[in-house]
Chains A and B, each alone.
Chain A
């Protein structure tokens, strides 16, 4: 039907309540999607950054023995295939790390602080070879950073899955809202629909009117919810960046993430249009 036919549905009868519901839904979906993408990227970044890193800790009461063992271990590790970036961590650096707990005493030469040797491992098999090599070094222990951060990665992974679940639930709830709005619209316009049918309108023509109307509502709601959602995510990102946290620094959206957020409003409109059309066609099919 022509553009003039859009007037057939009386907007005063059903109002524009769906606009605000869609706006809220989309706002929450944008936040959940941003959280999901951010945590997923953080999980990946933590894995990449720390996955191959390890530290050998050598604990010995005698400082001279520790220092000698450190040099020996460094030479030993450097000769193992797959091991790289072997570096004995300077005592000053260790003292700086312990400073928050030990204060000025962290740099006390009499304090029996273990010696640390940082290294990178090319694969999981290399870790086994390193462990084997260290078996003969008294007081030496290999700490894989990936193991230490496994709970953090698991937490980020759970958050990411939760965010994905939330997005799926939001989409489901939005579809349900559209179904309810379409059914309410059909009921409110039952008389007009009967007249249209009597004049030869097909179910698809009637459905198209509702689809156009509900899509317009969804577009208005998506515009409002989308803009507020994107601005909120941008502000949160800026705030997180100012914290200077290394872990929070890995929670970024990237170009793809931002693109996904921008696509969301359009996806909502497409979802509303498809659900409205299907609901109306099915409901009309059940009419006499």
Chain B
């Protein structure tokens, strides 16, 4: 993924993100950090193709996605897993059906869907809550369902916005291990978080810090700062 002089403004307002130029290497683990309102979520929205930039170019999987026709976007989105900050679970579907949604959209056979969902439910420790609907789940449980839904399709890129914000430390560790194992399988991870302790626990991760809508140099806490250009 490559950003070149990307800027983003909403409506006629000022740019919330300016002059973003960086590239993400396939299979790496990235944290995006910054103060509230710095533009982390806007950056992630562009990463998972929910928002087109107002200027600049974004290349994903070797394709310019800024000018991509609407009809071709779903194909790219299926290769990206997303954990939304507000989870965005479908409220009238069970936890299992929410997790199954990406596979059903992709047309996976129902037998395979069932097996994969069972595996994911066990992975996030929610086997006994498979039939529960999101409104009856705790914040942490909803977050785990959202994570399971994001990773069930084995995406090439996983984008997560504060994925450990609603879980206790033990579950945060468990989820981090989950992310690490996904990363080990080749998935590129981009995780936005305020949690510096979480960042410090992944020694191999790289960090991007957003401040005032601009990408700053890494804090120096991590060993591999992302490149400014490809």
A and B bind: yes
Report which A residues bind B (CB closer than 8 A).
Answer: 1-5, 7-8, 10, 12-13, 191-192, 194-203, 205, 285
Q: Are B82 and A7 touching (Cβ within 8 A)?
A: no
20 additional A-B pairs beyond A1-B107, A191-B88, A192-B90, beta carbons within 8 Å, are A2-B104, A2-B107, A5-B105, A10-B91, A10-B92, A191-B90, A194-B88, A195-B89, A197-B74, A198-B50, A198-B77, A199-B78, A199-B82, A200-B74, A200-B77, A200-B78, A201-B74, A201-B105, A202-B71, A202-B74
Q: Are B93 and A2 touching (Cβ within 8 A)?
A: no
Output the least CB separation between A100 and chain B (Å). 72
Note all chain A residues with C-beta closer than 8 A to B70: 203, 285
Q: Are B93 and A199 touching (Cβ within 8 A)?
A: no
**Most A-side CB within 10 Å, residue of B70, B78, B89:** B70
Top 4 closest pairs, chain A to chain B, by CB: A200-B78, A10-B92, A200-B77, A202-B74
Q: How many A-B residue pairs have CB under 8 A?
A: 65
Q: Are B105 and A195 touching (Cβ within 8 A)?
A: no
Report the nearest A residue to B97, measured CB to CB. Answer: A7
Q: Are A196 and B105 touching (Cβ within 8 A)?
A: yes
Q: How many residues of B contact A (CB 8 A)?
A: 27
Note all chain A residues with C-beta closer than 8 A to B101: 8, 195-196, 199
A198 to B101, CA, bound (A): 11
Which of A1, A3, A7, A285 sits near B105, CB closer than 8 Å?
A1
A231 to B211, CA, bound (A): 73
Mask of B89-114 contacts with A, CB within 8 angstroms, 1/0: 11111000100111011110010010
Note all chain B residues with C-beta closer than 8 A to A285: 70
Note all chain B residues with C-beta closer than 8 A to A10: 91-92
Q: Are A198 and B82 touching (Cβ within 8 A)?
A: yes
Cβ-based interface call for B48 (8 A): yes
Q: Are B105 and A198 touching (Cβ within 8 A)?
A: no
Output the least CB separation between A267 and chain B (Å). 31
Q: Are A1 and B104 touching (Cβ within 8 A)?
A: yes
Q: Are A8 and B77 touching (Cβ within 8 A)?
A: no
A194 to B50, CA, bound (A): 10
For chain B, residues 49 to 102, give those with C-beta under 8 angstroms from any C-beta of chain A. Answer: 50, 70-71, 74-75, 77-78, 82, 84, 88-93, 97, 100-102
A197 to B102, CA, bound (A): 10
Q: Are B92 and A12 touching (Cβ within 8 A)?
A: yes
Q: Are A8 and B88 touching (Cβ within 8 A)?
A: no
Q: Are A8 and B90 touching (Cβ within 8 A)?
A: yes
Q: Are B88 and A198 touching (Cβ within 8 A)?
A: yes
Which of B71, B77, B107, B110 sits near A197, CB closer than 8 Å?
B77
Q: Are B88 and A200 touching (Cβ within 8 A)?
A: no
Q: Are B105 and A200 touching (Cβ within 8 A)?
A: yes
